[in-house]
Amino acid sequence: MPYKLSEEPLRLREFGRNLQGLIDFAVTVEDRETRNRVANEIIRIMVTLNPALKENPEYKQKIWDALIIMSDFKLDVDSPFPLPKPEEFNQRPTTRVAYFKGRPKLRQYGYNIQQMIQKALEMDDMAKRTAYLNQIAGTMKLFLRSADREGANEDHIAEHIRELSGGRLNVKGEDLTISKSYSTVPLNNPQNSKTNNRHKNSNSNNSNNNRGGHRNKRRRK
């Protein structure tokens, strides 16, 4: 069995080595029609393995870009989107990203969420803005559940979005559609744990009473 460190490094680790092997095979297929069918089947597998990608409105183009990148730009297929070029993928920015030196308004979310909300304010397409805000709200819910489990609800998140946008995004909790994939952190409700403890104590008392009843019956005999 070959040791993993001796193999070629993965180009995109999130998709795994088995999918990388399928793409390497697709590059070797000579017939173009067959190669296109193989590429579309690989795309379907990539979406199945990463269902959270569907939350991105442009996920189809990103999947096709990932397919070409993982093939080291060698896969020649009929993509529904413009194929990425190596120089675009490997080029580095000419200027360094400015490091944020201030303090975010709501520290539990960090500075990036604040920047994302500012980006949403610049969107003219209301449908895209709504989809983007739902993504932001889902990410905020994950952060909020780790900091304040009882307060991780849509009403609080909508209130925080209004605060971070300076009141320019008048969002209501009932208007937010947060995907279930953002609710992977289990919510430990103290009330539920108390209820479970009461059930356990009740069952324990019942079993003890039953034992006592059996003993009394034996003594009467």
Report in angstroms the alpha-carbon separations of 49 from 2, 8, 162, 190: 25, 22, 35, 34
Residue 138 in 3-state DSSP? helix
Looking at per-residue pLDDT, the higher value among 63 and 144 belongs to: 63
**Domain chopping of the chain, boundaries:** 11-87, 110-182
- Contact at 8 Å (CB) between 151 and 144? yes
Could you read off the pLDDT of 109-142 as tens digits, one per residue?
777 888 888 888 888 888 888 888 888 888 888 8
Question: CB burial class (10 A; 0-12, 13-18, 19+) of residue 169?
Answer: middle
pLDDT tens by residue, 23-71: 999 999 999 999 999 999 999 999 888 888 887 878 899 899 999 989 9
pTM above threshold 0.85:
no
- Of 73-87, 126-140, 187-201, the range with the lowest mean pLDDT is 187-201
**One-character DSSP codes across 86-138:** HHHHH---SSPPPPP-S--SSTTTHHHHHHHHHHHHT---HHHHHHHHHHHHH
Indicate the pLDDT class of residue 188, thresholds 50, 70 and 90: very low
| Residues 175, 129 contacting (CB under 8 angstroms) | no
Task: Between 85 and 96, name the one with better pLDDT.
Answer: 85
- Residues 174-183, mean pLDDT to the nearest whole number: 65
Q: Is residue 194 over pLDDT 50?
A: no
Does residue 195 register a pLDDT over 50?
no
